[in-house]
Amino acid sequence: MKDRCMPTSRPLLKRFTAALLALTPWIAPAETVQVAVAANFAEPIKAIADEWQRASGHTLNATVGATGKLYAQIRNGAPFDVFLAANAQVPETLEAEGLAQPGSRFTYARGQLVLWSANARRVDAQGDVLRRADLGKLAYANPKTAPYGAAAVQLMAALGLTEALTPKLVQGESIGQTYAFVFTGNADVGFVALSQIFKNGQLKSGSMWRPPGNLYAPIEQDAVLLKRGANNPAARAFMQWLKSPEGQTLIRTYGYDI
Amino acid sequence: MGLTASDLQAIGLTLQVAALTTAILLLLGVPLAWWLARTQSFWRKPVGALVALPLVLPPTVIGFYLLVLMGPQGWVGQWTQALGLGTLPFSFGGLVVGSVIYSTPFMVQPVLNAMQAMGSRPLEVAATLRASPTDRFFNVVLPLCKPGLITGAVMSFAHTVGEFGVVLMVGGNIPGVTRMASVQIYDHVEALEYADAHRLAAVMLGFSFMVLLGLQIWKTEPKGAAA
Give domain status of residue B49, yes or no: yes
Instruction: Confirm if A113 and A151 have CB atoms less than 8 A apart.
Output: yes
**A172 contacts B72? CB cut-off 8 A:** no
Nearest to B151 by CA among B100, B215, B103, B206: B215
Render B161-174 in DSSP notation, one character per residue: HT--HHHHHHH---
Binary contact (A72, B189; C-beta < 8 A): yes
B196 in a structural domain = yes
What pLDDT, on a 0 to 100 scale, did the predictor assign at position B226? Answer: 46
Mean predicted confidence (pLDDT) in A217-229: 96
Q: Do A75 and B192 touch (CB under 8 A)?
A: yes
Q: Residue B69 domain-assigned? A: yes
Report whether pLDDT(B34) > 50: yes
Q: Has residue B128 been placed in a domain?
A: no
Decide if A142 and B173 are in contact by the 8 Å CB cutoff: yes
Model pLDDT for residues B102-161, shown as the tens digit of each residue: 999 999 999 999 999 999 899 999 999 999 999 999 999 999 999 999 999 999 999 999
Question: What is the percentage of chain B residues whose pLDDT exceeds 70?
Answer: 97
How deeply is A124 buried, as exposed, middle or buried, from its count of CB atoms within 10 A (0-12, 13-18, 19+)? middle
Residue B224 lies inside a defined structural domain of this protein: no
Structural domain boundaries enclosing B185: 5-120+147-218
Position A108 pLDDT exceeds 60: yes
Cα separation, A123 vs A116, in Å, equals 7
Beta bridge partners of A114: A192
pLDDT of residue A22: 59
Segment B89-94 mean pLDDT: 94
How many structural domains comprise chain B? 1
pTM, entire model:
0.84
pLDDT at B225: 47
- Residue B210 forms part of a structural domain: yes
Largest CA distance in chain B: 67
Contact at CB, B172 and A171, closer than 8 angstroms: yes
Q: Which amino acid is at B205?
A: L
pLDDT band at B227 (very low <50, low <70, confident <90, very high): very low
Residue A2, pLDDT score = 45
Cβ within 8 Å, pair A181-B190: no
Distance in angstroms (rounded) separating the CA atoms of residues B169 and A56: 38
Question: B172, B5 in Cβ contact below 8 A?
Answer: no
User: Which residue in A170, A177, A179 has the most chain B C-beta atoms within 10 A of its own C-beta, making it the best mutation to test that interface?
Assistant: A170
Whole-number pLDDT of residue A19: 65
- For residue B138, being part of any structural domain is answered with no
Between B38 and A1, name the one with better pLDDT: B38
| Distance of residue B174 Cα from the nearest chain A Cα, in angstroms | 6
Q: Can you give A211-229 as a three-state secondary structure string?
A: CCHHHCCCEEEEEEEEHHH
- What are A58-78's pLDDT values in tens digits? 999 999 999 999 998 999 889
> For the segment B56-89, what is each residue's pLDDT rounded down to a tens digit?
999 999 999 999 999 999 999 999 999 998 899 9
Q: Convert the pLDDT of each residue in A162-177 to its tens digit.
A: 999 999 999 999 999 9
Identify the pLDDT of residue B192. 82
Distance from CA of B129 to the nearest CA of A (A): 56
Q: What are phi and psi of A206, to 5 degrees?
A: 80, -160
In a mutational test of the A interface, the residue from B6, B70, B90 whose CB has the highest number of chain A CBs within 10 Å is B90
Is B125 inside a domain boundary? Answer: no
Q: Check residue A21 and give its pLDDT.
A: 58
pLDDT in tens, B188-197: 988 888 899 9
* Per-residue pLDDT at B184 exceeds 60: yes
Half-sphere exposure in the Cβ direction for B211 (13 Å, CA):
19
Residue B210 belongs to domain with CATH number: 1.10.3720.10
Taking residues A105-120, report their average pLDDT.
Answer: 96
Instruction: Render pLDDT for A13-46 as a digit per residue (tens, 0 to 9).
Output: 667 666 665 555 455 468 999 999 999 999 999 9
> DSSP state, A7?
H
**Where does residue A134 rank: exposed (0-12), middle (13-18), buried (19+ CB within 10 A)?**
exposed
The pLDDT > 90 percentage for chain B reads 85
Q: Specify the pLDDT at position A65.
A: 92
Q: Does residue A182 contact residue A129 with C-beta atoms inside 8 Å?
A: no
Residue A9 has pLDDT above 60, yes or no: no
